[in-house]
């Protein structure tokens, strides 16, 4: 790692001002950033650790029934505390491994927007709202390709607000080495329609599979999408699977998610 | 260099650190607690698992500065002061749950975290929980068996020896 | 002898206590006063000409003590190769130079260009980025067959080509083998890859060099399976340090699996730099660095053909293998695809005619050498796969086909130059059918089908040659070392024993198992025996631990030394009891005179040896300490039969291991608990090879699997509980313990069982798939199912 200073503010306001310095970078749970720093692939002059900000941690339910998760809430706490949204709790409970889940945070995961991460599919698949230190961003406007989001420099994800669906499921097919999603599909059925978000597969990062959404909105059953397919040409092709394989898995995992939704 | 203060294995511990000093470096190099090991640099092998404020974490993927004020437990804290192994350690010895011993501290710390939350895990739950702890020697057979035994379950039906 | 401490007892491991409490002493736990740290600047291109390495600016960086480059090693020896293979034309192999730091050219990603020694590791790494170097990238050779083409870029410009050797075995059989193929009723052909692996002991390599200017003594602390071998290779061939001025210590070592046998440049560098700087110099490998600097394993591309007569008897076997050596010859690399592979091609079968051709090839990749099993897994995999394919082509039961061709009479001289002393292959197959409940397979298959899964059963047998090895034989085959083992047994005055063994334990449990043998021999409690290993200043020259040799060779040396102790102790006892030496019996830790009630305790005799007041000084010396060197007269031949049951998800191609059973014959067994553990671990690695692990390079020689993010290590949820049995025992006839060795069996026997099972599953589902190259990842299995 290159040398840097580390600050550990206790309020969002202090964190924002600390991030105002040039070459400062936010540090969530660090489960992706620290390995990156070890490889010397990032060179911040200052890291602003968000782990000491208690107002960014925790889970609550709003008056309209949405589930709010503080941006600094770790995956293990979401797995244990998001019982109101079982598919989300289940997703959080299968990110990485137990020790990673005790450190990694929802805000950190979303800000990083790894194309194989799990959370982006839940956020996009739920039509969640990302609340930052200075605004609210709809999920559909947030993800912007690999490792890129609508966040501006110094902007912190303080909360994510999930409308709770009637039923939902996340089905992950793991890459055998990293155990990240080779393909992960989040399906959520709301009163006004079904959302299907796919992670791990596309060269463009997490995306909504609109054909499946239309078919499932009409008939929420695995058979409804049996005839649908995804084009493999825009899919990631690597050691662990071709684009065609990933495209195939998108259909399989979507069917399984529909069958498992509860 | 800033100073960090924490409680390690029940004793207050402090030292000068850089921003980039990892918790595992502080434990091994500053405190001389070399039982916590480093087996990879991508947060996967789990040889460095310790408990911070009661939670299992990878000490190689946390900065020492982030442990300011925390209660840290390492493998060195697991046996009784007179050296008597705790239930998990004893089960690992009884069931040959270790060979070269390098992954073992992380395995024991993860097992302790598992059994605290889930005192009677199933075989599948044990295997799932160990996703972040890689062992190259044992093929996991006797590790899983030892953890089930440590939870008080009868393992006599699981393959001999 | 009470069964809690002697031969045959599952004694709990005493070494566990320190490992379980965080009190192990691994090399990275060693920190010497005033030590400096080295970081190696490694090539990021696979092949290139070094035009310039300018260290001036970097040398001025904070904390930098000195930066070394290849120029600093002019006149210093290179990393030696310990085995010289002679090819089928009688020519010795091509053997390139292997400098400690690259000179003139870099030849693989990870080849060290410069070594930066600084006050801290971070400062060394900072300074590495300030080194200005200029490398003209050259086209790389990665694919072995391309590397042998006319006009291919040469890894070593001073060699004739990229061919290390073209080995034929047994060359004189070639004509007869070809003739047998012409007469065959059926020929089964299979082309396959034995995937390149990275051993991945969980402890990365570490080296700490130290030098005492006042005495001229060098010390190297290193993560080695064989510190004496490192002392000899590095002292004599690289740095010119006589052995009496060089101490090599390998304390607790966190797994080896072969890759810690070899002498590495980093060890030589730290030893060299400690003297140059007059300070201890430490190197700790990161895992990422290990992926491009630890010797890799396997990497064979093979075509195998099996000829059968009309009655399905095997009549001939012919193989053609390309074996990757990587960019340089690692310590034992040339022996792996030849003498550890070709000699095993008979397997468990009485195939009368065998011809093996191996072309060893240099490529711009990390050197390849022994990894758990070393040559024997490659032999077993191709043989057991081609037999399985033949059974399918002929429509016969794969177990019946194997049984029909089993060797049944021993000793048995194979057509590939080894003689199996004992074995009973029907017995292990019978045992496998029992413990694996193979008769219940069809019912389990139906249950799997009911949940939409394809289920398959894969069977295979294996034989291996262990207990390496008779020195005069391996000398004829090109080894530049002897392969005996040593032990010094020191009895203390109060009766306790210390054994200094040349074997090295890095997980095998010698500290527990070796005392069990002595406890049995003398009739004392095993806790009276302590094992010391891993320090060249403490014990006789030893060859170390690999090739499942510790108990068979090192244990035999210890038995021989202990026999000398007992013989001398009997002389002392005879004197004390005023009896004839011939009448002295040793039982339960006491000497008695046959036919009398006279008896003297072990401790009284040992005390007399060191306080020789009443002692036959005219006949024997005081003291009780003996050394023995044991050189085996043959290899040992563990064998067994393995069964794997898998489920395949036909929608995703994902394979899960549902059952795994192993019936092994290891001869006599000292500690059954440890033996089972060794088999479990081997099976885990074999399943890893079969389903998960592959080291991959792209066409430019870039390592694509540079970390655990892409190199899939087996985890706890990738494997089931295994059913292992080692009750079939045909003791080795030529070592005193009758033991055969068990360390590698699991890794040898399991990959073909897994692959055979997957093929069986796919064919049961109507898929016309006859082979898939390992690892059988979901994407590969799915692609194969698409046809």
The structural domain count of chain A equals 2
Does residue C282 contact residue C35 with C-beta atoms inside 8 Å? yes
Confidence check: pLDDT of B161 > 70: no
Residue C154 falls inside a structural domain: no
DSSP state letter for C520: H
Give the structural domain span for C232: 31-138+202-255+260-291
The structural domain count of chain C equals 3
Spacing of C-alpha A124 from chain mean position? 8
* Residue range C55-66: mean pLDDT, rounded: 98
Residue C391 falls inside a structural domain: yes
Nearest residue in B to A53, CA atom: B66
Give the structural domain span for A209: 167-260
Confidence check: pLDDT of B159 > 80: no
Residue where one domain finishes, among candidates A117, A137, A162: A162
Residue where one domain finishes, among candidates C629, C645, C676: C629
* Among B58, B70, B117, the residue to mutate for chain A (most A Cβ within 10 A): B58
Quote the pLDDT of residue C5: 84
Q: Are C239 and C325 in a shared domain? A: no
* Residue range C510-522: mean pLDDT, rounded: 97
Q: Encode pLDDT of C298-312 as tens digits.
A: 999 999 999 999 999
Quote the pLDDT of residue A22: 85
The answer to whether the Cβ–Cβ distance between B20 and A4 falls below 8 Å is yes
Q: Look at the block and give the residue holding tokens 């394919």.
A: C389
Confidence check: pLDDT of C574 > 80: yes
* Residue range C251-255: mean pLDDT, rounded: 98
Confidence check: pLDDT of C269 > 60: yes
Q: Are C688 and C724 in a shared domain? A: yes
Residue where one domain finishes, among candidates A162, A183, A207: A162
Q: Are A14 and A132 in a shared domain? A: yes
Domain limits of chain B?
Answer: 3-76, 87-150
Contacts of B126 in chain C (CB under 8 A): 716
Residue C10 falls inside a structural domain: no
Q: Encode pLDDT of C166-181 as tens digits.
A: 999 999 999 999 999 9
The answer to whether the Cβ–Cβ distance between A176 and C709 falls below 8 Å is no
Q: Are A195 and A148 in a shared domain? A: no
Confidence check: pLDDT of C62 > 60: yes
Distance CA B37, CA B49 (A): 8
- Identify the chains in contact with A, defined as 3+ C-beta pairs within 8 A: B, C
To the nearest whole angstrom, how far is the Cα of B124 from the nearest Cα of chain A?
Answer: 14
pLDDT band (50, 70, 90) for residue B1: confident
Does residue C141 contact residue C152 with C-beta atoms inside 8 Å? yes
CATH number at residue C740: 3.30.365.10
Distance CA A123, CA A88 (A): 9
Q: Are A127 and A176 in a shared domain? A: no
Does residue C732 contact residue C551 with C-beta atoms inside 8 Å? no
Percentage of chain C lying above the pLDDT 90 cut: 99
The answer to whether the Cβ–Cβ distance between C709 and A177 falls below 8 Å is yes
Distance CA C509, CA C3 (A): 18
* Residue range C439-448: mean pLDDT, rounded: 98
CATH of region B87-150: 1.10.150.120
Confidence check: pLDDT of A204 > 80: yes
Confidence check: pLDDT of A232 > 90: yes
CATH number at residue A27: 3.30.465.10
CATH of region B3-76: 3.10.20.30
Residue where one domain finishes, among candidates C612, C629, C646: C629
* Among B17, B24, B42, B54, the residue to mutate for chain A (most A Cβ within 10 A): B42
Q: Which residue has the higher pLDDT, C787 or C679?
A: C679
Nearest residue in A to C718, CA atom: A176
Distance CA B150, CA C282 (A): 39
Quote the pLDDT of residue C742: 96
Question: Which runs of consecutive H residues, i.e. helices, occur in chain B?
Answer: 23-25, 87-94, 104-117, 123-129, 141-150
DSSP state letter for B16: E
Q: Are C226 and C278 in a shared domain? A: yes
To the nearest whole angstrom, how far is the Cα of A49 from the nearest Cα of chain B?
Answer: 8
Whole-number average pLDDT of chain A: 97
Confidence check: pLDDT of B61 > 80: yes
Does residue C529 contact residue C490 with C-beta atoms inside 8 Å? no
Q: Are A184 and A152 in a shared domain? A: no
To the nearest whole angstrom, how far is the Cα of C298 from the nearest Cα of chain A?
Answer: 19
Residue where one domain finishes, among candidates C571, C606, C629: C629
Residue where one domain finishes, among candidates A111, A139, A162: A162
Q: Look at the block and give the residue holding tokens 């070399």.
A: B34
Nearest residue in A to C123, CA atom: A2
ipTM rounded to 2 decimals: 0.98
First and final C-alpha spacing in chain A: 45
Quote the pLDDT of residue B73: 98
CATH number at residue A201: 3.30.390.50
Distance CA C648, CA C629 (A): 51
* Residue range C239-255: mean pLDDT, rounded: 98
Quote the pLDDT of residue B157: 86
The answer to whether the Cβ–Cβ distance between B55 and A35 falls below 8 Å is no
Confidence check: pLDDT of A160 > 60: yes
Residue C183 falls inside a structural domain: no
Quote the pLDDT of residue C77: 94
Whole-number average pLDDT of chain C: 97
To the nearest whole angstrom, how far is the Cα of C26 from the nearest Cα of chain B?
Answer: 8
Quote the pLDDT of residue C551: 96
Quote the pLDDT of residue B160: 55
Q: Encode pLDDT of C403-428 as tens digits.
A: 999 999 999 999 999 999 999 999 99
Quote the pLDDT of residue C4: 65
Residue C1 falls inside a structural domain: no
Residue C681 falls inside a structural domain: yes
Q: Are A128 and A222 in a shared domain? A: no
Q: Encode pLDDT of C582-623 as tens digits.
A: 999 999 999 999 999 999 999 999 999 999 999 999 999 999
Confidence check: pLDDT of C279 > 60: yes
Q: Are C616 and C709 in a shared domain? A: no
Confidence check: pLDDT of C642 > 80: yes
């Amino acid at each position: 790692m290159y040398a840097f200073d580390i600050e550990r503010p206790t309020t969002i306001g202090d964190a924002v001002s600390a991030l105002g310095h040039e070459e400062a970078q936010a540090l969530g749970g660090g489960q992706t950033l620290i390995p990156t720093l070890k490889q010397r692939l990032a060179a911040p002059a200052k890291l602003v650790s968000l782990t000491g900000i208690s107002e960014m941690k925790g889970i609550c339910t709003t008056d309209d029934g949405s589930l709010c998760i503080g941006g600094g809430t770790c995956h293990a706490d979401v797995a244990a505390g998001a019982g109101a949204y079982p598919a989300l709790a289940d997703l959080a409970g299968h990110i990485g491994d137990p020790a990673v889940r005790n450190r990694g945070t929802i805000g950190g995961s979303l800000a990083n927007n790894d194309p194989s991460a799990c959370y982006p599919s839940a956020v996009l698949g739920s039509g969640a709202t990302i609340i930052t230190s200075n605004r609210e961003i709809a999920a559909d406007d947030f993800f912007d390709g690999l490792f890129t989001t609508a966040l501006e420099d110094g902007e912190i994800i303080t909360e994510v607000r999930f409308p709770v669906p009637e039923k939902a499921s996340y089905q992950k097919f793991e890459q055998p080495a990293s155990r990240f999603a080779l393909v992960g599909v989040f399906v959520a059925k709301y009163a006004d329609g079904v959302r299907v978000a796919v992670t791990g597969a596309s060269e463009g990062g997490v995306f909504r599979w609109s054909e499946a959404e239309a078919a499932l909105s009409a008939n929420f059953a695995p058979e409804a999408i049996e005839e649908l397919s995804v084009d493999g040409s825009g899919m990631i092709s690597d050691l662990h699977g071709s684009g065609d394989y990933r495209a195939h898995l998108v259909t399989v995992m979507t069917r399984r998610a529909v069958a498992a939704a509860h | 260099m800033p100073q960090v203060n924490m409680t390690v294995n029940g004793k207050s511990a402090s030292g000068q650190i850089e921003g980039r000093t990892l918790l595992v470096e502080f434990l091994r190099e500053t405190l001389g607690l070399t039982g916590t090991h480093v087996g990879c640099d991508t947060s996967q092998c789990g040889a460095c698992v310790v408990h911070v404020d009661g939670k299992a974490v990878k000490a190689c993927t946390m900065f020492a500065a982030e442990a300011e004020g925390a209660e840290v437990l390492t493998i060195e804290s697991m046996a009784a002061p007179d050296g008597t192994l705790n239930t998990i350690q004893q089960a690992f010895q009884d069931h040959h749950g270790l060979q070269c011993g390098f992954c073992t501290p992380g395995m024991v710390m993860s097992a302790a975290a598992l059994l605290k939350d889930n005192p009677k895990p199933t075989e599948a739950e044990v295997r799932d929980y160990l996703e972040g702890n890689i062992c190259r020697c044992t093929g996991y057979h006797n590790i899983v068996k030892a953890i089930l035994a440590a939870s008080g379950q009868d393992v006599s039906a699981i393959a001999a020896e | 002898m009470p069964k809690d401490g002697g031969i045959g007892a599952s004694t709990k491991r005493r070494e566990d206590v320190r490992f379980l409490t965080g009190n192990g002493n691994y090399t990275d736990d060693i920190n010497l006063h005033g030590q400096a740290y080295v970081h190696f600047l490694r090539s990021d291109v696979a092949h290139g000409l070094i035009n310039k390495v300018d260290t001036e600016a970097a040398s001025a960086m904070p904390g930098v003590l000195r930066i070394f480059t290849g120029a600093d090693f002019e006149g210093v020896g290179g990393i030696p190769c310990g085995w010289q293979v002679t090819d089928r034309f009688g020519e010795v192999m091509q053997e390139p130079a292997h400098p400690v730091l690259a000179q003139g050219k870099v030849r693989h990603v990870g080849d060290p260009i410069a070594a930066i020694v600084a006050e801290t590791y971070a400062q060394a790494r900072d300074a590495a980025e300030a080194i200005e170097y200029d490398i003209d990238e050259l086209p790389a050779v990665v694919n072995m067959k391309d590397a042998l083409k006319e006009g291919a870029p040469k890894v070593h410009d001073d060699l004739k080509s990229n061919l290390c050797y073209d080995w034929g075995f047994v060359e004189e059989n070639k004509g007869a083998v070809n003739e047998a193929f012409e007469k065959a009723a059926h020929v089964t052909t299979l082309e396959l890859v034995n995937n390149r692996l990275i051993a991945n002991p969980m402890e990365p390599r570490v080296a700490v060099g130290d030098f005492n200017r006042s005495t001229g003594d060098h010390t190297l602390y290193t993560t080695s399976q064989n510190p004496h071998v490192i002392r000899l290779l590095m002292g004599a061939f690289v740095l010119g340090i006589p052995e009496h001025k060089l101490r090599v210590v390998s304390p607790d070592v966190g797994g080896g699996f072969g890759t810690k046998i070899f002498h590495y440049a980093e060890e030589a560098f730290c030893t060299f730099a400690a003297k140059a700087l007059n300070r201890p110099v430490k190197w700790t490998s990161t895992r990422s660095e290990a992926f491009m600097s630890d010797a890799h394993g396997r990497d064979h591309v093979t075509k195998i053909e099996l000829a059968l007569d009309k009655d399905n008897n095997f009549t001939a076997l012919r193989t053609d293998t390309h074996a990757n050596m990587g960019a340089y010859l690692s310590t034992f690399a040339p022996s792996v695809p030849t003498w550890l592979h070709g000699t095993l091609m008979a397997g468990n079968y009485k195939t009368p005619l065998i011809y093996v051709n191996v072309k060893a090839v240099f490529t711009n990749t990390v050197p390849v050498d022994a990894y758990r099993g070393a040559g024997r897994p490659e032999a077993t995999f191709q043989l057991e796969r081609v037999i399985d394919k033949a059974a399918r082509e002929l429509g016969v039961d794969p177990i019946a086909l194997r049984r029909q061709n089993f060797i049944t009479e021993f000793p048995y001289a194979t057509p590939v130059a080894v003689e199996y002393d004992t074995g009973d292959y029907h017995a292990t197959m019978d045992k496998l059918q029992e413990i694996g409940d193979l008769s219940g397979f069809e019912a389990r298959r139906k249950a799997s089908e009911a949940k939409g899964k394809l289920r398959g059963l894969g069977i295979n047998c294996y034989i291996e040659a262990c207990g390496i090895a008779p020195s005069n034989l391996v000398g004829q085959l090109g080894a530049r070392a002897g392969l005996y083992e040593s032990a010094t047994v020191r009895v203390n005055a109060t009766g306790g024993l210390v054994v200094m063994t040349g074997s090295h334990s890095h997980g095998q449990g010698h500290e527990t198992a070796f005392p069990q043998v002595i406890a049995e021999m003398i009739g004392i409690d095993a806790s009276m025996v302590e094992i010391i290993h891993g320090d060249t200043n403490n014990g006789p020259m030893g060859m170390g631990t690999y090739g499942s040799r510790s108990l068979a060779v090192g244990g035999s040396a210890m038995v021989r030394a202990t026999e000398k102790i007992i013989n001398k102790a009997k002389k002392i006892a005879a004197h004390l009891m005023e009896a004839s030496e011939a009448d002295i019996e040793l039982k339960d830790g006491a000497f008695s005179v046959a036919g009398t009630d006279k008896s003297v305790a072990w401790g009284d005799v040992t005390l007399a040896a060191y306080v020789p007041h009443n002692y036959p000084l005219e006949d024997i010396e005081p003291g009780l300490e003996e050394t023995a060197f044991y050189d085996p007269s043959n290899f040992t031949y563990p064998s067994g039969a393995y069964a794997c049951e898998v489920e395949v998800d036909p929608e995703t191609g994902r394979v899960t291991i549902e059952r795994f059973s192993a019936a092994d014959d290891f001869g006599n067994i000292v500690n059954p608990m440890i033996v089972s553990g060794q088999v479990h671990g081997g099976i885990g690695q074999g399943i890893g090879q079969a389903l998960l692990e592959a080291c991959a390079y792209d066409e430019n020689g870039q390592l694509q699997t540079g970390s655990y993010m892409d190199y899939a290590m087996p985890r706890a949820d990738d494997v089931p509980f295994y059913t292992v049995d080692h009750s079939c025992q045909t003791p080795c006839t030529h070592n005193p313990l009758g033991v055969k060795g068990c360390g590698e069996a699991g890794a040898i026997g399991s990959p073909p069982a897994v692959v055979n099972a997957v093929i069986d599953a796919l064919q049961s589902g109507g898929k016309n798939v006859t082979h898939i190259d390992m690892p059988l990842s979901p994407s590969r299995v799915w692609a194969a199912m698409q046809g």
